[in-house]
Amino acid sequence: MEHQPLRDQVAVVTGGGGGIGGGISRLFARAGAIVVLNDIDTELAETARAEIVADGGHVIMVVGDIRDRVVVAAVRDAALAAGTGRIDVLVNNVGDYRPNGRFVATTEDDWAALYAMNLEHVFRCTHAVIPTMIEQRSGSIVNVSTVEAFRGIPGNAVYSAFNAGVNAFTKSLAVELGRDGIRVNAIAPDMADTLQTPASAMLRGRDPSLVECWIPVGRFGRPDDYAQVALFLASDQSRYVTGHVVPVDGGTTAASGWYGRPERKGWTNLPDSP
Protein backbone atom coordinates (compact mmCIF):
# COMPACT_ATOMS: atom_id res chain seq x y z
CA MET A 1 0.00 0.00 0.00
CA GLU A 2 1.23 3.48 -0.86
CA HIS A 3 2.47 5.48 2.13
CA GLN A 4 -0.28 7.88 3.22
CA PRO A 5 1.18 10.69 5.36
CA LEU A 6 -2.13 12.61 5.26
CA ARG A 7 -4.41 9.68 5.96
CA ASP A 8 -7.91 10.84 7.00
CA GLN A 9 -6.79 14.47 7.25
CA VAL A 10 -8.89 17.25 5.73
CA ALA A 11 -6.90 19.32 3.25
CA VAL A 12 -8.21 22.44 1.51
CA VAL A 13 -6.56 23.24 -1.83
CA THR A 14 -7.52 26.47 -3.58
CA GLY A 15 -7.11 26.48 -7.34
CA GLY A 16 -6.92 22.72 -7.05
CA GLY A 17 -8.24 21.81 -10.48
CA GLY A 18 -5.22 22.24 -12.77
CA GLY A 19 -1.57 23.19 -12.85
CA ILE A 20 0.36 23.16 -9.58
CA GLY A 21 -2.87 23.13 -7.57
CA GLY A 22 -4.12 20.18 -9.57
CA GLY A 23 -0.91 18.31 -8.86
CA ILE A 24 -1.27 19.07 -5.16
CA SER A 25 -4.90 17.99 -4.89
CA ARG A 26 -4.23 14.72 -6.71
CA LEU A 27 -1.12 13.91 -4.67
CA PHE A 28 -2.77 14.81 -1.36
CA ALA A 29 -5.65 12.47 -2.19
CA ARG A 30 -3.19 9.66 -2.91
CA ALA A 31 -1.56 10.51 0.42
CA GLY A 32 -4.86 9.71 2.14
CA ALA A 33 -6.35 13.18 2.62
CA ILE A 34 -9.97 14.14 2.21
CA VAL A 35 -9.39 16.92 -0.30
CA VAL A 36 -11.66 19.96 -0.40
CA LEU A 37 -10.93 21.15 -3.91
CA ASN A 38 -11.79 24.70 -4.85
CA ASP A 39 -11.47 26.07 -8.37
CA ILE A 40 -13.11 28.80 -10.41
CA ASP A 41 -13.08 26.55 -13.51
CA THR A 42 -15.83 23.92 -13.31
CA GLU A 43 -14.32 21.75 -16.04
CA LEU A 44 -10.87 21.64 -14.43
CA ALA A 45 -12.38 20.94 -11.02
CA GLU A 46 -14.59 18.15 -12.36
CA THR A 47 -11.68 16.54 -14.22
CA ALA A 48 -9.58 16.56 -11.06
CA ARG A 49 -12.47 15.22 -9.00
CA ALA A 50 -13.10 12.38 -11.44
CA GLU A 51 -9.42 11.40 -11.52
CA ILE A 52 -9.16 11.45 -7.74
CA VAL A 53 -12.28 9.31 -7.33
CA ALA A 54 -11.13 6.87 -10.03
CA ASP A 55 -7.86 6.52 -8.11
CA GLY A 56 -9.74 5.64 -4.94
CA GLY A 57 -9.39 9.03 -3.28
CA HIS A 58 -11.82 11.24 -1.42
CA VAL A 59 -12.67 14.72 -2.67
CA ILE A 60 -15.26 17.42 -2.15
CA MET A 61 -15.57 20.00 -4.91
CA VAL A 62 -16.42 23.65 -4.25
CA VAL A 63 -16.56 25.62 -7.49
CA GLY A 64 -16.23 29.37 -7.21
CA ASP A 65 -13.96 32.40 -7.17
CA ILE A 66 -11.84 32.27 -4.01
CA ARG A 67 -11.64 36.07 -4.08
CA ASP A 68 -15.31 36.05 -3.06
CA ARG A 69 -15.98 36.02 0.71
CA VAL A 70 -19.01 33.79 0.17
CA VAL A 71 -16.87 31.18 -1.61
CA VAL A 72 -14.26 31.28 1.16
CA ALA A 73 -16.99 30.59 3.71
CA ALA A 74 -18.38 27.76 1.57
CA VAL A 75 -14.95 26.15 1.31
CA ARG A 76 -14.41 26.40 5.07
CA ASP A 77 -17.87 24.97 5.80
CA ALA A 78 -17.34 22.10 3.35
CA ALA A 79 -14.06 21.26 5.06
CA LEU A 80 -15.61 21.32 8.52
CA ALA A 81 -18.44 19.07 7.35
CA ALA A 82 -16.03 16.65 5.70
CA GLY A 83 -13.85 16.25 8.75
CA THR A 84 -16.49 16.39 11.46
CA GLY A 85 -15.17 19.74 12.58
CA ARG A 86 -11.48 19.42 11.66
CA ILE A 87 -9.34 21.25 9.12
CA ASP A 88 -5.82 19.88 9.04
CA VAL A 89 -4.20 21.47 5.98
CA LEU A 90 -4.73 24.63 3.97
CA VAL A 91 -2.95 25.20 0.67
CA ASN A 92 -3.33 28.77 -0.59
CA ASN A 93 -2.43 28.09 -4.19
CA VAL A 94 -4.36 30.63 -6.27
CA GLY A 95 -2.33 33.32 -7.99
CA ASP A 96 -2.09 34.96 -11.37
CA TYR A 97 1.07 35.62 -13.35
CA ARG A 98 -0.08 38.41 -15.62
CA PRO A 99 2.58 40.58 -17.29
CA ASN A 100 1.20 44.09 -17.07
CA GLY A 101 3.88 46.30 -18.55
CA ARG A 102 5.89 49.11 -17.04
CA PHE A 103 4.72 50.19 -13.60
CA VAL A 104 4.24 53.77 -14.78
CA ALA A 105 1.59 52.53 -17.20
CA THR A 106 -0.43 50.59 -14.63
CA THR A 107 -3.47 51.88 -12.75
CA GLU A 108 -4.81 51.59 -9.24
CA ASP A 109 -7.46 49.21 -10.60
CA ASP A 110 -4.64 46.97 -11.88
CA TRP A 111 -3.03 46.99 -8.44
CA ALA A 112 -6.30 46.14 -6.74
CA ALA A 113 -6.93 43.24 -9.10
CA LEU A 114 -3.46 41.82 -8.51
CA TYR A 115 -3.85 42.29 -4.76
CA ALA A 116 -7.11 40.32 -4.75
CA MET A 117 -5.63 37.55 -6.87
CA ASN A 118 -2.27 37.14 -5.18
CA LEU A 119 -2.48 38.25 -1.55
CA GLU A 120 -5.91 39.24 -0.22
CA HIS A 121 -7.47 35.79 -0.61
CA VAL A 122 -4.47 34.30 1.22
CA PHE A 123 -5.34 36.51 4.20
CA ARG A 124 -9.04 35.70 3.90
CA CYS A 125 -8.72 31.91 3.56
CA THR A 126 -6.16 31.70 6.34
CA HIS A 127 -8.28 33.87 8.62
CA ALA A 128 -11.24 31.57 7.95
CA VAL A 129 -9.52 28.32 8.95
CA ILE A 130 -7.11 29.21 11.74
CA PRO A 131 -9.76 29.41 14.51
CA THR A 132 -10.43 25.71 13.90
CA MET A 133 -6.72 24.90 13.80
CA ILE A 134 -6.12 26.85 17.02
CA GLU A 135 -8.97 25.00 18.73
CA GLN A 136 -7.64 21.59 17.66
CA ARG A 137 -4.06 22.75 18.38
CA SER A 138 -2.73 21.44 15.08
CA GLY A 139 -2.58 22.37 11.44
CA SER A 140 -0.33 23.08 8.50
CA ILE A 141 -0.67 25.99 6.09
CA VAL A 142 1.23 25.94 2.81
CA ASN A 143 1.23 29.09 0.70
CA VAL A 144 2.27 29.16 -2.94
CA SER A 145 4.45 32.16 -3.75
CA THR A 146 6.99 32.54 -6.56
CA VAL A 147 10.71 33.00 -7.02
CA GLU A 148 9.83 36.38 -8.51
CA ALA A 149 9.34 37.54 -4.92
CA PHE A 150 13.12 37.19 -4.46
CA ARG A 151 14.38 38.78 -7.67
CA GLY A 152 13.44 41.60 -9.97
CA ILE A 153 10.93 40.90 -12.72
CA PRO A 154 10.48 43.87 -15.05
CA GLY A 155 6.92 44.42 -16.19
CA ASN A 156 5.54 42.72 -13.09
CA ALA A 157 6.58 44.92 -10.18
CA VAL A 158 3.18 44.78 -8.45
CA TYR A 159 2.85 41.01 -8.89
CA SER A 160 6.26 40.42 -7.34
CA ALA A 161 5.51 42.84 -4.48
CA PHE A 162 2.34 41.01 -3.48
CA ASN A 163 4.12 37.67 -3.59
CA ALA A 164 6.86 39.10 -1.40
CA GLY A 165 3.94 39.89 0.89
CA VAL A 166 2.93 36.22 0.83
CA ASN A 167 6.46 35.32 1.94
CA ALA A 168 6.47 37.88 4.77
CA PHE A 169 3.00 36.79 5.87
CA THR A 170 4.21 33.18 5.93
CA LYS A 171 7.14 33.95 8.20
CA SER A 172 5.30 36.25 10.57
CA LEU A 173 2.28 33.98 10.93
CA ALA A 174 4.54 30.99 11.58
CA VAL A 175 6.03 32.76 14.58
CA GLU A 176 2.62 33.89 15.79
CA LEU A 177 0.96 30.46 15.57
CA GLY A 178 3.81 28.13 16.50
CA ARG A 179 2.68 27.70 20.11
CA ASP A 180 -0.80 26.86 18.86
CA GLY A 181 0.57 23.79 17.10
CA ILE A 182 0.22 25.32 13.64
CA ARG A 183 3.02 25.42 11.09
CA VAL A 184 3.10 27.89 8.18
CA ASN A 185 5.41 27.48 5.20
CA ALA A 186 5.44 28.30 1.50
CA ILE A 187 6.82 27.05 -1.78
CA ALA A 188 8.17 29.41 -4.43
CA PRO A 189 7.90 27.81 -7.89
CA ASP A 190 9.75 28.68 -11.07
CA MET A 191 9.81 27.24 -14.59
CA ALA A 192 6.50 25.40 -14.14
CA ASP A 193 5.14 23.80 -17.29
CA THR A 194 1.41 24.25 -16.58
CA LEU A 195 -1.74 25.53 -18.25
CA GLN A 196 -0.99 29.02 -16.94
CA THR A 197 2.68 29.00 -17.95
CA PRO A 198 3.08 26.35 -20.68
CA ALA A 199 6.58 25.44 -21.78
CA SER A 200 5.68 26.36 -25.35
CA ALA A 201 5.00 29.95 -24.27
CA MET A 202 8.17 30.12 -22.19
CA LEU A 203 10.24 28.86 -25.11
CA ARG A 204 8.62 31.31 -27.56
CA GLY A 205 10.26 29.69 -30.55
CA ARG A 206 13.63 29.16 -28.87
CA ASP A 207 15.61 25.98 -29.32
CA PRO A 208 14.24 23.46 -26.75
CA SER A 209 17.67 21.86 -26.49
CA LEU A 210 18.86 24.98 -24.66
CA VAL A 211 16.55 24.29 -21.69
CA GLU A 212 19.37 22.37 -20.01
CA CYS A 213 21.50 25.51 -20.30
CA TRP A 214 18.92 27.73 -18.60
CA ILE A 215 17.73 25.44 -15.79
CA PRO A 216 20.40 23.66 -13.71
CA VAL A 217 18.42 20.40 -13.49
CA GLY A 218 17.90 20.55 -17.25
CA ARG A 219 14.10 20.54 -17.61
CA PHE A 220 10.91 22.45 -16.86
CA GLY A 221 9.00 21.60 -13.71
CA ARG A 222 5.94 19.38 -13.69
CA PRO A 223 2.97 19.81 -11.31
CA ASP A 224 4.02 16.79 -9.28
CA ASP A 225 7.47 18.33 -8.66
CA TYR A 226 5.82 21.16 -6.72
CA ALA A 227 3.17 18.94 -5.16
CA GLN A 228 5.78 16.68 -3.58
CA VAL A 229 7.33 19.60 -1.69
CA ALA A 230 3.89 20.85 -0.66
CA LEU A 231 3.13 17.36 0.68
CA PHE A 232 6.33 17.37 2.71
CA LEU A 233 5.44 20.74 4.23
CA ALA A 234 1.82 19.73 4.88
CA SER A 235 2.65 16.45 6.57
CA ASP A 236 4.28 15.38 9.81
CA GLN A 237 7.46 14.71 7.82
CA SER A 238 8.24 18.41 8.30
CA ARG A 239 6.97 18.63 11.89
CA TYR A 240 9.94 20.81 12.96
CA VAL A 241 9.84 23.11 9.92
CA THR A 242 7.92 26.38 10.02
CA GLY A 243 8.31 29.90 8.70
CA HIS A 244 10.23 28.90 5.58
CA VAL A 245 9.78 29.63 1.89
CA VAL A 246 11.20 26.80 -0.20
CA PRO A 247 12.18 27.60 -3.80
CA VAL A 248 11.05 24.77 -6.08
CA ASP A 249 12.79 25.95 -9.19
CA GLY A 250 15.17 23.39 -10.63
CA GLY A 251 18.06 25.49 -9.32
CA THR A 252 17.29 28.81 -11.03
CA THR A 253 17.46 30.84 -7.82
CA ALA A 254 20.77 29.29 -6.87
CA ALA A 255 22.15 29.95 -10.35
CA SER A 256 21.29 33.67 -9.94
CA GLY A 257 21.56 34.49 -13.63
CA TRP A 258 24.29 32.03 -14.59
CA TYR A 259 23.61 29.83 -17.59
CA GLY A 260 25.32 26.72 -18.87
CA ARG A 261 26.93 27.08 -22.27
CA PRO A 262 25.74 24.68 -24.97
CA GLU A 263 27.55 21.36 -25.12
CA ARG A 264 28.65 21.83 -21.49
CA LYS A 265 31.39 24.30 -22.42
CA GLY A 266 31.42 26.24 -19.17
CA TRP A 267 29.08 28.98 -17.93
CA THR A 268 28.04 32.51 -18.80
CA ASN A 269 25.97 35.28 -17.23
CA LEU A 270 25.44 36.72 -20.71
CA PRO A 271 22.97 34.25 -22.29
CA ASP A 272 23.03 35.99 -25.66
CA SER A 273 26.72 35.05 -25.95
CA PRO A 274 26.86 31.24 -25.65
Active site residues: 159
* Residues 246/147, Cβ–Cβ less than 8 Å: no
Measure CA of the first residue to CA of the last residue in the chain; give whole Å.
Answer: 49
Contact at 8 Å (CB) between 169 and 123? yes
Task: Give the other-Cβ count within 10 Å of 218's Cβ.
Answer: 12
Asked whether 14 and 21 are in contact (CB, 8 A), the reply is yes
What SS3 state is found at 248? strand
> Directed axis angle between helix 157-177 and helix 108-115, to 10°?
40
Q: How far apart are CA 239 and CA 134, in angstroms?
A: 16
Strands 259-260 and 267-268: antiparallel
